[in-house]
Homo-oligomer: A and B are copies of this chain.
């Protein structure tokens, strides 16, 4: 059926030609429901040619006009929210209201992009020397590209291209081939909102498409979100090809619970942070570091109670707390990690394996898993699992907890639960992590701040979305201007000019 083909969006048209394609599954049923086309060289060439053609006119469009396209897109996204979220749930598996949360965050990035006239202001200095003025302009860099992961098919692309195009660039988006439909629909809405053809092209694909973006000289900048090994590959390959690159990788976010914390509050927050969206979030909390055994015991007790109340089932039923994992291979991999944890000697307090969801027996459902006595060195401590597996680590002091975090290879997000101002300030100052929560388990920065981890969680210097994205998607041009005064001939100066 042609309706089950997910194509590319190139120069304003859906393109479904090409030789290669791949199945898209509904993880709640295990059925292949669609085929997504995989871009080959000619598709990539078409996308690049389209972007090149669109650029000159778009970069000359006043920022206010570009921003107003974003305002209209925001309205269309709100109007089409149900349709978009349904596509997310069908292909990713997450519960519908979780999809709505994702979309709402994405919309806020569209809103921020609509502030472009303010964000693109340059700096003007009068009289940098006698009658000499100088100012900066933040000009678009040309064709920019984004490569995005499966776990937020609506939100992560919206971190990137709205700001890129609001800054006057063209953008080529390669979303995840596992759940491409919501991404594509949103791009079509952008056209409806008035984005000219070619300003945003969407190509579905795999490594062939990625490598085309990484090596083609027409691509000036690349934003990536995914796992650390790929992020590292993107960063080094893109940079070796002379591009600017920001590549966001993996995470293993620790949450610290202090003895003075409101344990009930911490438990509630951790349930969402650990198991929401099956833990398939780079900001999820898979590790809790309890300071003191009493704290650990109380936490474990609370978590067990809450886990017992959880409902697992298809994401289309909003009474469920957790849907399926995204694919069968991922389900197998996460399940395997649970076995590894047991083998490594951690105490499996709650085992979510073997869960059956009536009527969805082929779905990739895994219940919440909880380990106690997880320790550094264990693979379940060290590696990113990306599943509903929470481990409790026991330490004696805040400093011990912080030392653990600072020694870990990742530095994406972290959180402390405490009532104490001093503990919170010391923690947030000295922790080697890019996004810090104080009694906030998922400290995802709002759209008007920027998102980024430290250490091996991000390669590059500028973070995603927010103010940093404006700088990433623009080139600085500095103009220095002096107008000749009539009849004045200045003597030649062979020395380097100063402001003296």
Contact = CB atoms under 8 A, between A and B. Distances in A.
Interface of A: 60-65, 67-68, 71, 74-75, 95, 97-98, 100-102, 104-105, 108, 111-112, 114-115, 117-137, 139, 221, 232, 235-236, 239-240, 242, 244-245, 261-262, 264-265, 267-269, 271-272, 275-277, 281, 306, 321-322, 418-422, 424-426, 428-429, 433-440, 442-452, 454, 456, 459-463, 467-468, 471-472, 475-486, 488-500
B463 A476 contact: yes
A100 B483 contact: no
A131 B462 CA distance: 27
Contact of A75 (B75, B124, B477): B75
Nearest to A126: B137
A494 B124 contact: no
A391 to B, nearest CB: 18
Identical copies in the complex: 4
Contacts of A124: 121-124, 135-137
A425 to B, nearest CB: 5
Nearest to A484: B262
B492 A445 contact: no
Contacts of A235: 239, 242
B242 A449 contact: no
Given A62-B128, A121-B448, A438-B483, 4 more contacts: A126-B429, A242-B459, A269-B493, A272-B494
B236 A239 contact: yes
B445 A480 contact: yes
A435 B480 contact: yes
A472 B461 contact: yes
Contacts of A130: 60, 62
9 contacts: A97-B495, A120-B126, A124-B136, A265-B484, A269-B490, A306-B492, A322-B494, A425-B481, A451-B478
A496 B277 contact: yes
Contact of A419 (B112, B322, B421, B450): B421
A490 B268 contact: yes
Contacts of A267: 492
Given A71-B111, A135-B124, A240 B240 contact: yes
B483 A439 contact: yes
B488 A265 contact: yes
B242 A232 contact: yes
Nearest to A264: B489
Given A446-B125, A497-B444, A422 B492 contact: no
Nearest to A478: B445
B134 A446 contact: yes
A454 to B, nearest CB: 6
B244 A460 contact: yes
B135 A135 contact: yes
A372 to B, nearest CB: 20
Nearest to A265: B484
Contacts of A433: 477
A104 to B, nearest CB: 4
Contact of A118 (B118, B245, B490): B118
Contacts of A118: 112, 115, 118-119, 448
Given A276-B496, A421-B483, A454-B475, A240 B244 contact: no
A495 B276 contact: yes
Contacts of A460: 244, 461
Contact of A125 (B63, B129, B478): B63
A239 B242 contact: no
Given A124-B121, A439-B484, A268 B492 contact: yes
A14 to B, nearest CB: 28
A157 to B, nearest CB: 15
Given A236-B240, A496-B276, A476 B468 contact: yes
A98 B480 contact: no
A491 B226 CA distance: 31
A477 B475 CA distance: 23
